[in-house]
Amino acid sequence: MTSPDLKELGGPFALLKKVLVISRATLASQFAYVGEQVVRTTFLVLILYIFTQLWNATDRFQDVREATGFSIPQLIWYLAFTESIIMSAAGIRGTSVDHDVRTGDLAYRLTKPIPYPCFQFGSDLGTRVFRFFLNLAVGIGVSLAVVGPIPLAPLAVLAAISLTLLVFVVDWIWVFSISVLSFWIEDTFGIHLLYRRLLMLLGGMLLPLEAYPDWLRSVCERLPFAYMVYHPSRLFVLDRPDGFLHAVGVVLILGIVGLIPALLLYRLGLRQVSAQGG
Amino acid sequence: MLSLVCPSWYDSRTAARESLTGEAIGIARILPIGGHLMVVVRVDGLRKEFTRRTRTPGLRGLLRSYVSPRHETVVALDGIDFEMDDGESLALIGPNGAGKSTTIKTLTGILHPTSGSATVLGLVPWKERTRLSLNIATVFGQRSQLWFHLPAGETFDLLAHIYEIPRAEYQARKTALVERFELGPLLGTAVRKLSLGQRMRCEIAASLLHRPRVLFLDEPTIGLDVIAKQKIRELVSELNRNEGVSVLLTSHDAGDIERLCKRVIVINHGTIVLNDRVSTLKRRYLRRKVIGLRLSDADVTLPAIEHTTLLSRSRFGAKLEVDTDRVAVPAVMATLGRLPIADITIEDPPMEEIIAEIYAARSEERGRVDD
């Protein structure tokens, strides 16, 4: 018989509120080490400077705008945006789910009145949003210093940021699917590494897809990775939000497709928990 | 309504004698809530097996394990049964690997059992874990629920949202807990800067914000110094007494059990070895204490103390065993207090020894019955 005076959980809005509160707390905890976070962005400064030199050198032999459809300042601003997306992930794994499973911290998280994936999602999203905007601020500063301003369309920028936030949600779902494999395999680092590298190379992190050879471009356009990196970054430097709705639709489908294995693996994985001993 | 639930070792003659003498250990308990006997934890034939991969040492063993992996089954819980009443404080003790933590992890829904059943507040933990978690609290001595980089107070606020505590209720509860646990100066400090004892006080207070009905404590005093241990014990005991929170505690430390619990379950190799009152355990098996001395002067002559045996001696140290049936520890301490002592520790006999004694006593009893 169930105890008559049990407290009951709130509905979906209560759950959403919990996720947002967790995100806010993670965001706050990121400020504890804001100095370290800024130091991390030095890589961004370096890579933007190097690429400016490379594009300038290339431009002497071939017209960059003609080859890529983007001016050199646009390419640098594009790179600042793609790097902000990639570097905002917390390490190669992008989440601490693997760590929680391996160390047994999962046990504590499971005993809270919020489903573990929701807790982790809130926590990872807070970190990622903080890092993204910090990287973007630094990236814009460096871009202004090395190539000067480019004309930005407020609507396109808004579309780029909105799509990026949606991408973070979908990327988290895919990363979570990989992480829950740690219920069965010792270390998922290799799979995470492969996923991140595919995002970088086939997603158009260093160059927009227009700069790729035709055959590679057509391959990349058919793969999901470009929707996670290239499309939001392209929107950022364009003067109008072309292709925004199409990209949102594809990213949503990617999210739904990723959600099925993520939840299935998680439910199966919970039965595998073997937290023997202390 | 009277319910009499007897574990297998509890024979009817003992039950009759203890009932007559008023010693019944709470196995017969009448706690009418809404006209029902309220058992908050019910465990019935709970069994948990783990499968783990094994291999022989060395490179050859490693390569062979890839070709033909070998697995072995470890039985962590071997069909245990017990119950815990509303407001009771129950200790689960045993050596490493006995199955204590597995029991707690199963009862909080973290682990799925291989077979058997269990309910906590009427809910099956591994099926209704999230709903159950709103009504219970768990503190693992070796883990933290506090956010490492945030002040403890901010984690409290976060937990208030996670546990859906109304704002006014949370503020009142927080104020009361901060006062009782003396957390005022700690609330604004980042958790990473707190000592283990301070952090554990914060951990327990955090777990009580939502007024749980059952508190699971898994080794809450592990790694703490004597003063911090004592503080934690006082707080938990008071909570159990004043708020009626049921406490299920696991520990290696017999001191935790003596001061916190009325009933004890001794578990070994996944089976229940003893389920009895703490007072009975103390009377029968915790009759010795080991006092460790570190002296500030070398070669001090130790006085002879009645019913106390010198176990070992070095230039600056000594270990004494006190027969607590015959002499009280404070009396021994009073004598030792005259010595130049730098440090002193009082320990119970190790769990392994207590369990060996329980087994010995039981086989002796069985032998008598057979005769």
Shortest CB distance from A273 goes to which of B51, B111, B162?
A: B111
Asked if residue B203 and residue B256 are part of one domain, the reply reads yes
Q: What is the pLDDT of residues B26-50, one digit of tens each?
A: 333 434 444 444 899 999 999 998 8
CATH of the domain at B331: 3.30.70
Note the pLDDT of residue B96: 81
Q: Is residue A26 part of a domain?
A: no
When mean pLDDT is compared across A27-41, B12-26, B139-153, the lowest value belongs to: B12-26
Asked if residue B259 and residue B187 are part of one domain, the reply reads yes
Asked if residue B296 and residue B168 are part of one domain, the reply reads no
Q: Which domain holds residue A60?
A: 31-270
Q: Is residue B213 part of a domain?
A: yes
Give the residue, B143 or B108, on which the prediction is more confident.
B108
Note the pLDDT of residue A264: 93
Q: Is residue A22 part of a domain?
A: no
Q: Which of A31-40, B91-100, B103-112 has the highest mean pLDDT?
A: B103-112
Asked if residue B153 and residue B189 are part of one domain, the reply reads yes
A115 touches chain B (CB under 8 A): yes
Asked if residue B336 and residue B248 are part of one domain, the reply reads no
Asked if residue B293 and residue B272 are part of one domain, the reply reads no
Shortest CB distance from A29 goes to which of B145, B150, B164?
A: B150
Could you give the 3-state DSSP secondary structure of residue B230?
A: helix
Note the pLDDT of residue A4: 59
And the tokens for B206? 């955090």
Q: Count the domains in chain B.
A: 2
Q: Is residue B280 part of a domain?
A: yes
Instruction: For residue B208, give Cα distances in angstroms to A108, B85, B148, B308.
Output: 15, 19, 19, 42
Contact B38 A3 (CB under 8 A): yes
Concatenated DSSP letters for A145-158? HHH------HHHHH
Closest CA to A132 of A49, A41, A209: A41
Instruction: For residue A145, give Cα distances in angstroms to A6, A52, A82, A139, A150.
Output: 61, 11, 18, 10, 12
Asked if residue B221 and residue B106 are part of one domain, the reply reads yes
Q: Which of A211-220, B143-152, B308-317 has the highest mean pLDDT?
A: A211-220
Contact A3 B40 (CB under 8 A): yes
Q: Is residue B190 part of a domain?
A: yes
Q: Is residue A3 part of a domain?
A: no
A8 touches chain B (CB under 8 A): yes
* Predicted-assembly ipTM surpassing the 0.95 threshold: no
Percent over 90 (pLDDT), chain A:
51
Q: Is residue A53 part of a domain?
A: yes
Q: What is the pLDDT of residues B282-341, one digit of tens each?
A: 777 777 888 888 888 877 888 888 888 888 888 888 888 888 888 888 888 888 888 888
Concatenated DSSP letters for A150-216? ----HHHHHHHHHHHHHHHHHHHHHHHHHHGGGGTSS--HHHHHHHHHHHHHHTTSSS-GGGS-HHH
Determine the distance from the C-alpha atom of residue A117 to the mean position of all C-alpha atoms in its chain, rounded to a whole number: 17
Mean pLDDT of B349-362: 74
Q: For the beta carbon of residue A211, count every other beta carbon within 10 angstroms.
A: 17
Asked if residue B196 and residue B76 are part of one domain, the reply reads yes
CATH of the domain at B128: 3.40.50.300
Q: What is the pLDDT of residues B236-246, one digit of tens each?
A: 888 888 888 99
Asked if residue B227 and residue B210 are part of one domain, the reply reads yes
Q: Which domain holds residue B321?
A: 288-347
Contact A21 B162 (CB under 8 A): yes
Q: Give dist(CA A196, CA A154) in Å, integer.
A: 30
Domain boundary among B284, B305, B324: B284
Asked if residue B303 and residue B210 are part of one domain, the reply reads no
B145 Rama sector, left if φ>0, alpha if ψ -120 to 50, beta otherwise = alpha
Asked if residue B92 and residue B148 are part of one domain, the reply reads yes
Element housing A1 (H / E): none
Q: Is the pLDDT of residue A3 over 70?
A: no
Note the pLDDT of residue B2: 32
Q: Is residue B261 part of a domain?
A: yes
Note the pLDDT of residue A2: 63
Domain boundary among B241, B265, B284: B284
Mean pLDDT of A267-276: 72
Q: Is residue B363 part of a domain?
A: no
Q: Is residue A131 part of a domain?
A: yes
Q: What is the pLDDT of residues B166-194, one digit of tens each?
A: 999 999 999 988 988 888 888 888 888 88
And the tokens for A229? 């990196």
Q: What is the pLDDT of residues B133-147, one digit of tens each?
A: 999 999 888 788 888
B35 touches chain A (CB under 8 A): no
Contact A8 B108 (CB under 8 A): no
Mean pLDDT of B202-220: 90
Q: Is residue B19 part of a domain?
A: no
Q: Is residue A15 part of a domain?
A: no
Q: Is residue B2 part of a domain?
A: no
Q: Count the domains in chain A.
A: 1
Asked if residue B135 and residue B269 are part of one domain, the reply reads yes
